[in-house]
Structure 1
Amino acid sequence: MLRKSQFGLRGKVTLGLALILIISLLITSLSSYLQSKQVAERKVIELEKSKLDVLNHVILGSLQSHQNTLLSLRDIPAFQAILRAQSNKGIDPDSGSSLAVWKNRLKAIFSAFIANNTEYLQIRYIGLNGKEIVRVQINEFNEIEVVSDNLLQNKADELYVIKTLEMPSEQVYFSNVSLNREHGVVQVPYQPVLRLAAPVFTDDNQVKGIIVINLATEKLFHDIKLINQGTSQFMVDENGNYILHTLVEKTFAKDKGLDHNFHKDYPQLASFSHKNDNLMRSFNNSAEILGFEKIYFSPFDKTRYWLIVQRVPESVVFADIRTVLNQILFVGLIIGVLSLILIVCFVSRRILAPVLNLAAAAERLQDGDLTVRLDALSVHDEFRTLYKTINTFTIKQQEFTVKLQQEIESQTHKLSAIIENIVDGIITIDNKGNIKTFNQAARKMFGYQNNEVMGCSIGMLVPKPSCDSQDSNFSRNLAQMIEKSMGVGTEIVGLRKDGSEFPLDLAVSEVKMDNAVHFIGITRDVTERKRIELMQKEFISTVSHELRTPLTSISGSLGLILGGATGELPEKARALITIANNNSERLILLINDILDIEKISAGKMQFNFSVISLTPLIKQSLDENKGYGAKLNVSFKLVSAPEKALTVRVDEKRLLQGMSNLLSNAAKYSPTGEQVDIKIEQIGDSVRVSVHDKGKGIPEAFRSKIFNRFSQADSSDTRQKGGTGLGLNITKAIILKHKGSIGYDSVEGKGTTFYIDLPLYIKHDEKEVMVVQQKEHNDKPLILIIEDDRDVSKLLSIMLENENYQLDHAFNYEEAIEKISANKYDVITLDLMIPGGMVLTSYVNYVIMKQP
C-alpha cells in the first residue's frame, strides 16, 4: 500500500515535470520564432535603409557631377565675349568678332555638350530680361537641333529664372522634377525633366543672364526599382507630388490635372517625413514595412527634397520564418517525448529529493537564516558538491557578518568622536530646517546643550530682524541665505543663548542619506579675526599718515639739497645724501602702495576722468620711467602705434601709475642690456597697450596668484630687484575702474607680455572737450595745496618758487572748502585732511610733467 502511494506521488511529480518541460519547449519554440521574427524585421529594416542610403549617395553624386558640368560650361569665354559684344554695339572689343559669331560658337559648344551627354535634353543661355539668347535641344526625332532666333521664348516669369538671377556665382539652382513644357504646354510623350541653372556674371561681378540645362531623369533615377522581388519603391517631392510610381496615373498627377498626392495616401508616413531625414519601420494598421530616405537635391536650400519611399510586405519578410516555426515545433515535440522518458527513469530520490532540499535551503537563505546546514553524505555526485558549497558559504557569511558589524560599530564610534571634538562647529538640519546634530564646538560657540536645540528650528541660532514681523518671511530669507552659501561659504551673524551676537563663517553642503536630504553647516567664530582686521586697518592708516608726512619732507629736502638749493656739496656728502634720498623715495613708494591698497579695499580711491589721446600719454610714461630703466641698463621703446589718434576717457595720473608699475616690473626682470617693447593697437572697440620683456617668464605654479597682494614669484630674486608685490594688484584695480581689463601671456625662458585693454571713447562730450582745451592753453596753472603740515607746504613753495605756477594753500578742511568754492583751480592736491586724496609724490610728478 505504501509502495503504491509512493509510486503515485512520484508519478504525479514526474507527469508534472514532463508537462512543464513540454510547455517550456513550446514556449521556447514560440519565443525563438518571435525573436527570429524581430531579428528578421530588424535586418530587413537595416538592409532596406542601407539600400535607400546608397540610392541617396548615388543620386546626389550624379547631381554633383551635373552641377560641376554646368559650372564648367558657364565659365567658357563665349559668354563673356557675348556680353562684351552686347555692350559694344555688337562687336567684341577684345577679339574683334561680332555678336553673331560668338553666338554661333556658343551653339556649337552646346551641341557638343548634348552629343556627349545623352541625358541632356536642352541647354539654354537666357539674358537678364528673361529672353532666350541661345537654345540647343534634342527634338522629337532624337536629333540635336539649334533653335532659330525667331522661335526663342521669353522665360522671365519662370520661377527658376527669377531664383537663379538672385543667386551668387558659386551656387546652382535646382528646379522641381516636372513634365517638360514648351510654350506652356506639357509635351507628349511625357518627358520628366530636372532643370539646373546658374547665373552668368561679367568680369566686374554683375549678373547678366543664366545658363540652364534640362536634364532627363531616367538615368538619374535608374537605380530606383519600382517593383523588385515583392518589394516596391516610389518617389515624391517635398509637396507630396509623385515623381515615380508603379501606377502611371499617380506619376506627375498634378501636371496631368489629377488629384493624387502622397500626403493623402500615406498621412502617417508623411507626418514622420516632416520631422525625420530617414525612417524604416512597421505600422500597426499596415501589413508591410514602410520607410523613406530624404534626398536634399538642392545643396543651398534644405527646404527642398525628394522622398524615396520603400514598401516591403510582411509576407516577403517572414516567409522563411514561418517554415522554420513548423520545423521547430516538430523538433520540440520529439524532444518533449524523449524528455518524458528520461524523467520517468531518473526522477527518483537521486534527483527529486536533493532538489527539494536545495530549494528549501535556498528559501531559508533568502530569509537571512545563516544556520542552514545540509547533510552532504546523503547525496552523491554534483549534489554533494552543492551541499558542501552551501554549508561553506553559510559558515563564512556568518563570520563575515559578525566582523562587519564590529567594524561598523568601531567606525561609527570613531566618526562620532571626530565630529564631536572637531574645532569647527558642525550642525546638520533636515529638509524642514530642524536641527538634527549639534557637536561640542557648536555647543560651546552658541552656549546651548543638545537637549535645548535638538529638533528646533535653525532660526534660533540667527538673530531675527525686528522689522520682520512675519515668521514666514524670516524663514524664507533664512532659507535663501543658506542656499546662497551652498558650497561656497559666507559670513553671517550668529546669536548665542545669552542673546549676544557675533560674526561667524558658514559653509553649507548637501548630503542625501536614507532617501532624505540633510543642508550640513560648518561654522566658525570669526570675532577674533574681525578684531585683527580692524587693528590692521587702524595700523595701516596710522603708520601711513605718521610716516608719509615726515618722509615727504625729508625726501623733498634731500632732493633740494641734491639739486643745489644749499650750494655745492662735497663728494662724500653727496654720496651719503643720495643714498638717503633713494631710500626715502623707496619708503614713500611703499607707503603710497599700502595707502592705495587701503583705498582700494575701502572703495575710496578717487578718479578724475578726462578725454585724451592715448598715444602721447604712453610716450609720456616711457619718458618718466626712462631713468629707472637706465639704472638697470634696460631701455623702453614704443615699437608700434596706430597713426590715427585713439581717444580714451581716463584718469591720467592713475593710468600713468599703472603703466609705471608694468614698466618697472618689465625692467626689473629683463636681462641687462635688453629692450622692453611697448605696442599700442586697436582691437575692435578697445585699444590694447602691451609691455613685453625678454626675461625668464612667470613660473606655472605662480600664475594663479600673480595679481594677489604681496605676490612674489621668487622672494630671493625680489630682494635683489626690489618691490613690494603690490604693483600688479593696484594696477588691476586701476584698470578695472576704467572699465578695462588686464592680462598676460608668458612662456618660461622666453619672456612675458602684460597687456591692458581700455574702451575707446566714441561719443565725445563737447563740454568736457572744451574744458580740456582750455586747460591745455593755460600757461599759469592755479594750484591749491591742501596740507595740514606747514613744513610740507613750505617745502612745495621752495620747490616751485622759480617755476611759472600760481600757488595757494589751505591748512584745514573748512579753509579748503571755502577756497574751492571761490576759485577755479587747475590742480588740487589732497593729503590726509580728506581721505582718499592724492599723495604728494603724485603731485610733484604732475608738476614736472607740466614744465616746458
Structure 2
Amino acid sequence: MKSNKIKFITKFSLYLIFIILALGIVFVLALENFLYTSLKNLGIEELISQKIVRDFNFLSLGFIFFTIFFCVVASFLFFRPLENSFKEIQEFIKKIVSGDFKERLKIKSGDEIEKLAEGLNFLINNLESCNYRLKEKTKELERIREEEVILRIRERARREEVEKRLEDLEKSRIALMNILEDVEEERKRVEEEKNKTLTIVENFVDGLLIFDRDKKLILINPQAEIFLQAEKREIIGKSIKDLEKIPGFKKIFEIIGPEIQPCFRETIQMEENLILELTSLPIVSEKEKIGNLIILHDITREKYLDQLKTEFVSLVAHQLRTPLSGIKWSLKMMLDGDLGPLLQEQKDFLKKAWTANERLIRLVNDLLDVTKIEEGRFLYKLEEKDIIKIIEDVFNSYLDTAKEKKITFELEKLKDNFPPLKVDEEKIKVAIQNLIENALIYTLPEGRVTVTTDLQNGNFFFKVKDTGIGIPKKVQDRIFTKFFRASNATKIDTEGSGLGLFITKNIIEAHGGKIWFESEEGKGTTFYFTLPLSK
C-alpha cells in the first residue's frame, strides 16, 4: 500500500513540476524578451540591459523553484486525506467482494468523498438486502431441488423395487412350478416305493408287525396274521396292551412287555407244530424313536432238524461209548502186561492207540454234552461245593503238562476264605479244565499261564491269563460257537473238536454265571467267568 501511495504522489508531483516548469520557462523567456526590448527602446546600455536581464532571470528561476516546492508540499498535504479515504474505500470494497456486508464506511470529510461513502453505504444496504433475498431464494431452490432429487430417487427406488419384486415373483413362480413338478414326481416315486414296500411286506415269508410311537399297531402282514391267528381289520390301531388279550399275542407280550423291549432271536413255542423266533427292534429316524418293528421267523423246521441231529448224535455217541470203553480197557491190560510181556516198540504203538482212543472217548463225551445242552438237561447234581478245592485239583492235574512245555504255571488266590458255591461239580470241573487246557495248548514254551480267583461284587471271580497266540479280532465273535476253531489255533493243535468253549459257556450260564474274554493276536488271551454265591 505504501508503495502505491508513493507512486501516486510522485507521479502527481512530477506532472505538476513539469507543468509549472514549462509554463515558468515560457513566461520567463517571453518576459525576458519583452524586458530586453523595452530596455533597448529606452536607450539603456547593452551591458546594463544584459545585467538587468540576468538578474531578472535569476529572480524568475528562484520564483519558479519556490513555486514548484510549494506545489509539491501543497499536493502532498492535499492528497494525503484523499489517500486514507481511498484506502478505506478500497478495504471496504474488498470485504464486500468477499461477501461481508456488515461493514459500513465511516468517512466524515465533509466533501464529495463523504457523499461517495454515503452512496456506497446505501448501495451496500440495498445489495445486502438483495443478497439476503437471493440466499433465501437459493436455499428455497436448493430445498425444492433436493426434494425433487429425493422424489426422483424414491421413485426410481420404488420402480426398481417393484421391478425386483416382479422379477422375484416370476422367479418364485418358476421355482414353485419346478418344486410342484419335483413334488409330483417325488410323490409318484414315493407311491411306487410304498407300493413296492407293501408288496414286499405282504409277500414276506416272515411275520412283520409295526407299532407307532404310541405303541399302536399300524401294520401287519398276512404271514403274521397266520402265525397269530388274527385278522388285520380286528387288530389294526390297537395298542400293545389291548393286543395282550388276544390269545396269539400273549406269548409275544411276555417277552417284549408293554414298552416293547428290544430282543433278538428269542424262541417262542406258539403251538406243538409252530416255533417262532422273535426279534424286536426300535425304528429310529434322525436319532428319534418313531416306532417298533417285530419280526416273527418260523424256525419249526430248523428246530425239528436240530432235534433229529441231536438225537442222531446222541444215539451214535452212546453206541460208540461201549466199544470205545472196551478198547480202552483192552489197551490198558496189554500196557500193564496182563497179557504177557511186550517189546518197547509194541508198547509205543499201544500208547499211541491209547491216546487216540482217549481222544475219541473225549469227543464222544463232548458230543453227548452238546446233546444234553440242546435238550436242556445238562445239570444234574447241584450241590454246595468248595470251588477252590475243585480248581486246585484241576490245576494240579496240569502241572506236569506245564512242566513238559516249560511254561510258568501259577495259581493266585486273592482271597483266603471263599464261601461254598452251589454247582454241578463234574460239569464245573469240565469248564475249568477246558479253559486251563486251552491256555496251556496255545501258549508257546517259555510262556506264562496264570489262574486267578477272587470275590467281586458278590460273585465268585475266575480268570485264566496266558501269553499265547491270541485270537484274531475278526473271528472273536464266533469263539463260543459249535465246532469253530480259529485258523492260527488249527496250526498248533490239529486234533481239537471246537466244542470245548461252546460247552464251557453253556456250563457257566447254566449255573447263572457270565463268561467273556479279552485277546490280542500274538500277545495272549484272558478268559473270565463269574458265578453267583449261594444264598
* Short-chain TM bin: 0.5 to 0.7
Q: Is the 8 A contact 2:228 2:249 kept in 1?
A: no
Q: Give the aligned residue type for 1:405.
A: E
Once the two structures are superposed, what CA deviation does each residue of 1:190-221 show, in whole Å capped at 9, x if it has no partner? xxxxxxxxxxxxxxxxxxxxxxxxxxxxxxxx
Distance 1:748 1:590, change over 3 A: same
Q: Distance in 1 between matches of 2:382 and 2:254?
A: 38
Matched, 1:609 2:383: yes
Give the whole-Å Cα distance in 2 for the aligned partners of 1:479 and 1:562.
Answer: 60
Deviations 1:632-675 (CA, angstroms, capped at 9, x unpaired): x2446335457956563455433432332122111111112434
Structure 2 CA distance for partners of 1:725 and 1:414, relative to 1, 3 Å: same
Aligned pair partner of 2:354 in 562, 575, 581? 581
Unaligned runs of 5+ in 1: 1-337, 355-379, 461-469, 764-852
Q: CA deviation at 1:402?
A: 1.2
Distance 1:411 1:613 in 2: 64
1:27-55 per-residue CA deviation (whole Å, 9 max, x = no partner) reads: xxxxxxxxxxxxxxxxxxxxxxxxxxxxx
- Paired residue for 1:567, among 316, 330, 340? 340
Aligned to 1:542: 315
Match of 2:177 in 1: 398
What is the alpha-carbon distance in structure 2 between the residues aligned to residue 724 and residue 752 of structure 1? 20
Counterpart CA distance in 2 for 1:613 and 1:431 is 49
> Counterpart of 1:324?
none
Q: How far did 1:382 drift? A: 3.8
Tell me, yes or no, if the aligned pair for 2:379 and 2:427 is still in contact at 8 Å: no
| Mapped partners of 2:197, 2:182: distance in 1 | 23
User: TM-score, normalising length from structure 2?
Assistant: 0.56
Match of 2:367 in 1: 594
Tell me, yes or no, if the aligned pair for 1:646 and 1:760 is still in contact at 8 Å: no
Aligned to 2:420: 648
Partner of residue 455 from structure 1, selected from 230, 233, 255: 233
Residue type of the alignment partner of 1:410: R
2:443 maps to what in 1? 670
Alignment length (residue pairs): 376
Task: Give the fraction of aligned pairs with identical amino acids, expressed as a percent.
Answer: 26
Q: Which residue of 2 aligns with 1:365?
A: none
Which residue type is aligned with residue 488 of structure 1? C
Structure-2 change in CA distance of 1:456 and 1:519 (3 Å): farther
Q: Specify the alignment match of 1:504 in structure 2.
A: 276
Aligned residue in 1 for 2:135: none
Q: Does 1:426 align with 2:208?
A: yes
Are the aligned partners of 1:503 and 1:527 in contact in 2 as well (CA < 8 Å)?
A: yes
Distance in 2, Cα, partners of 1:491 & 1:459: 26
Partner amino acid, structure 2, of 1:487: P
Cα distance per residue 1:401-455 (max 9 Å; x no partner) = 2133123312331342244134434345779999765557668x6699xxx9452
Match of 1:558 in 2: 331
Could you report, residue by residue, the CA deviation over 1:512-543 in whole angstroms, capped at 9, with x for unpaired residues? 99xxx876543333222222222122122212
Residues 473 and 410 of structure 1: CA distance in aligned 2, closer, same or farther (over 3 Å): closer
Residues 349-385 of structure 1: CA distance to partner in whole angstroms, max 9, x if unpaired?
Answer: 9489x7xxxxxxxxxxxxxxxxxxxxxxxxx434323
**Given the alignment of the two structures, is residue 383 of structure 1 paired with residue 162 of structure 2, yes or no?**
yes
Q: In 1, distance between residues paired with 2:460 and 2:295?
A: 47
The 5 A counterparts of 1:791-810 are: none
Q: Give the Cα–Cα distance (whole angstroms) in 1 for the partners of residues 151 and 394 of structure 2.
A: 106
1:808-827 superposed matches below 5 A: none
Question: What is residue 416 of structure 1 aligned with on the other side?
Answer: 195
Tell me the distance in 1 between the aligned counterparts of 2:212 and 2:149.
64
The answer as to whether partners of 1:634 and 1:670 remain within 8 angstroms in 2 is no
Distance 1:595 1:634 in 2: 34
Shift of 1:593: 1.7
Q: Say whether residues 1:638 and 2:406 are aligned partners.
A: no
Q: CA–CA distance in 1 between the matches of 2:227 and 2:247? A: 20
Q: Conserved in 2, the CA contact under 8 Å of 1:419 and 1:426?
A: no
Question: Equivalent residue of 1:503, what SS?
Answer: strand
Aligned counterparts of 1:636 and 1:728: Cα–Cα separation in 2:
23
Shift of the 492–409 alpha-carbon distance from structure 1 to 2, 3 Å rule, reads: farther
In the TM superposition, what whole-angstrom CA distance separates every residue of 1:259-283 from its partner, at most 9, and x where no partner exists?
xxxxxxxxxxxxxxxxxxxxxxxxx
**How far apart, CA to CA, are the structure 1 residues paired with 2:418 and 2:443?**
29
Q: Residue type matched to 2:263 in 1?
A: V
**Residues 471-512 of structure 1: CA distance to partner in whole angstroms, max 9, x if unpaired?**
9575994784584355325444669xxxx9733334455669
Could you tell me which amino acid in structure 1 is paired with residue 189 of structure 2? S
- Name the CA distance, whole Å, in 1 between partners of 2:245 and 2:429: 54
Aligned to 2:296: 523
- Change over 3 Å in CA distance of 1:453–1:433 after alignment to 2: farther
Rg comparison, structure with higher value: 2
Choose between structure 1 and 2 for higher RCO, CA contacts under 8 A separated by at least 6 residues: 2
The answer on 1:488 being equivalent to 2:263 is yes
Distance 1:552-1:708 versus aligned 2 partners, 3 A rule: same
SS at match of 1:622: helix
The alpha carbon displacement at 1:680 in A equals 4.8
Distance 1:712 1:653 in 2: 25
* Offset, 1:548: 2.0
Choose from 724, 733, 736 the match for 2:497: 724
Write the letter of the residue equivalent to 2:179: F
> 1:441–1:537: structure 2 CA closer, same or farther, 3 Å change rule?
same
The separation in 1 between residues aligned to 2:269 and 2:391, in whole angstroms, is: 48
The residue type paired with residue 449 of structure 2 is V
Partner of 2:3: none
Find the aligned partners of 1:543 and 1:556 in 2 and give their Cα distance: 20
What is the CA RMSD across the aligned residues, in angstroms? Answer: 4.7
The structure in which a higher percent of residues are helix is: 2
Tell me the SS of whatever aligns to 2:183.
helix
SS at match of 1:692: strand
Contact 1:687 1:757 in 2 (8 A): yes
Where in structure 2 are the equivalents of 1:71-110 lying within 5 Å? Answer: none
In structure 1, C-alpha distance between the alignment counterparts of 2:444 and 2:246, rounded to whole Å = 64
Letter in 1 for 2:234: C
SS at match of 2:311: helix
- Structure 1 residues 628 and 659: CA distance shift in structure 2, 3 A: same
Distance 1:440 1:641 in 2: 60
Structure 1 residues 581 and 512: CA distance shift in structure 2, 3 A: closer
Residues in 2 aligned to 1:486 and 1:537: alpha-carbon distance in whole angstroms: 32
| SS class of match (1:605) | coil
Query: How far, CA to CA, are the matches of 1:518 and 1:741 in structure 2?
Result: 32
Q: Distance in 2 between matches of 1:595 and 1:479?
A: 33
8 Å Cα contact 2:217-2:237 kept in structure 1: no
Q: CA 1:349–1:688 in 2, change beyond 3 Å: closer, same or farther?
A: closer
Q: Deviations over 1:740-772 (max 9, x none)?
A: 5545454544323334556778x9xxxxxxxxx
1:532 aligns with 2:310: no
Q: Summarize deviations over 1:794-817 as a string: whole Å, max 9, x none.
A: xxxxxxxxxxxxxxxxxxxxxxxx
Q: SS of 2:310's equivalent?
A: helix
Cα distance in structure 1, aligned partners of 2:250 and 2:206:
25
